[in-house]
Amino acid sequence: MRKIMSILLVLCAVFSLFPIAGCAAQTAETENRIVISLQIGNPMMTVNGIAAEIDPGRGTSPVIAGERTLVPIRSIIETMGGTVAWEEDTQTALLAYNGDEIRLVMDSPTAYFNEEVYVLDTAPTIIHDRTLLPIRFIAEKFLFSVEWDEAEQKITITKIYGDENLNQPVTPPETEEEGIASFARAVVVYFSATGNTRSLAEKIAESAGADLAEIIPKVPYTSDDLDYSDDQCRANQEIQSEARPEIEEFAVSVSQYDIILLGYPIWWGQCPPAVRTFLDSYDLSGKTIMPFCTSGSTGIDGSLAKIKELAPESTVTQGFRGTATTQEEQIEQWLKDNSYLTQSMVRVRLKSQSGDIIIKLNHNNAAKNFVNQLPLSLDFQDYSQTEKIAYPPEEIDVSDTERGFQPQAGDFAIYAPWGNLALFYRDGEYASSLVPLGSVESGEEWIAELDGAIQAEVE
């Protein structure tokens, strides 16, 4: 049952790492907006210039912990006209505003916006009865603008009403994108001037179970632009001048991915200028970049130095050179050589009384649809002294997923005819209707003890 939270919700924001620009409507009429100002160490805030306690009767002040600025959220959401609620059984915070809802599960990087799934860079957690939540995600989804003044240690949060065009927060290029729900923690980002790289990128996305996004120059390249025999052609001139041609906005939010599979044709031994624009435009710190290229003869190694230069805080793996006719086996070998599957698998945690069980999910449609139901409570019971079974509240779509295998201890699957989940603690018999979902990474010794309601959430 939902109840209004008794604990203070606090937003966690790494302002020093992710500065967010101020309100886009500085010239708009002030009566059409709400402006909340808070200052580090000050228990008072102002709402459109009127002073009020942030946390009435408690003297709570915004603080900086390490490089993070912690800001009370209840006052912000309620002042804007929203509500805050708490689900104790699932340890879930619910923020509702203007018909939209955000669900955040404690200690889980998975967030839900109107039932769409997102992966956060920072997981919410409870510290000293306070729930810390990532401000970037909430601000983007509720369309609040946030400004940080380093000199005055001041946070200003603005919401503009009336003109929908003024409702959009101004942020760096990455946060202007409209995010999409994604099961994959990897995305294939590619630039293709003639279509050859596109064909390879689509094959890699299919093999990797990754999302797909194209780098599209705002001014398309013509055949004359790509006349490499002409020193004055556009491609030659851009390479020589280190140009950064403008590119279209992405259809995905790059921040939600851990791995970027970056594809491009080789131009004079280098990655094209549009790819450099991408690397300059997005914060890829902490992400893994796996470069691949198309080229008739030139290898990819000569282009890697520029990628490392433009993404110094990323891990750049060995590159892969292919063509439109590259075979799936070659792609899979490259992915394996760079430990791709280990890094990209989504993990689910089952919280049992004996100990947590971590399950690595496969890259298939059934596993994706299972994740979209999380978090949820599953009622496990023993079956045939071989497996623990549970029925999800909604049927899991297993279409487009290969079925039929012989399960071993630690395998996680779903029986297609009946729709029940099965977690094996002993080897089982082959079943043609058994759909593999994943396998246990740790905590296999606790499977046999599963009994009753167990909380399942994305790790």
Under CATH, to which class is 2-171 assigned? alpha beta
Query: Cβ(436)–Cβ(332) under 8 Å?
Result: no
Domain ranges of the chain: 2-171, 186-343, 347-458
Q: Sign of torsion, CA 84 85 88 89?
A: negative
| Tens place of pLDDT per residue across the chain (459 aa) | 333 333 334 444 333 333 333 333 333 334 467 888 888 888 788 888 888 877 766 677 776 654 556 666 777 777 778 888 888 888 888 888 888 888 888 877 777 887 677 776 667 777 666 666 776 677 778 887 777 777 888 888 887 655 444 334 333 333 333 332 345 578 999 999 888 899 999 999 988 878 899 999 999 999 899 887 888 999 889 988 999 999 998 878 888 788 999 999 999 889 999 999 999 999 999 899 999 999 877 889 999 999 999 999 999 999 999 986 889 899 989 988 887 766 666 789 999 888 999 998 887 888 888 988 888 999 999 999 999 999 999 999 998 888 999 999 999 999 988 899 999 999 999 999 999 999 998 999 999 999 999 999 887
* Chain-centroid distance, C-alpha 379: 29
392: CB partners within 8 A, 6+ apart: 370, 373, 376, 378, 419, 421
Residue 378: closest CA among 388, 394, 390: 390
Task: To the nearest 10°, report the CA torsion of 228, 234, 240, 242.
Answer: -140
CATH of the structural domain 347-458, one choice from 3.30.465.10, 2.40.100.20, 3.40.50.300, 2.60.40.10: 2.40.100.20
Euclidean distance between CA atoms 55 and 53, whole angstroms: 5
Is the bond preceding residue 173 a cis peptide, omega within 30 degrees? no
Was domain 186-343 assigned CATH 3.30.70.580? no
- Binning the chain into helix, strand and coil, the percentages to the nearest 5 are 20, 35, 45
First to last CA, the chain: 24
Query: Cβ(255)–Cβ(174) under 8 Å?
Result: yes
Q: What pLDDT score was predicted for residue 181? A: 36
Q: What pLDDT score was predicted for residue 24? A: 34
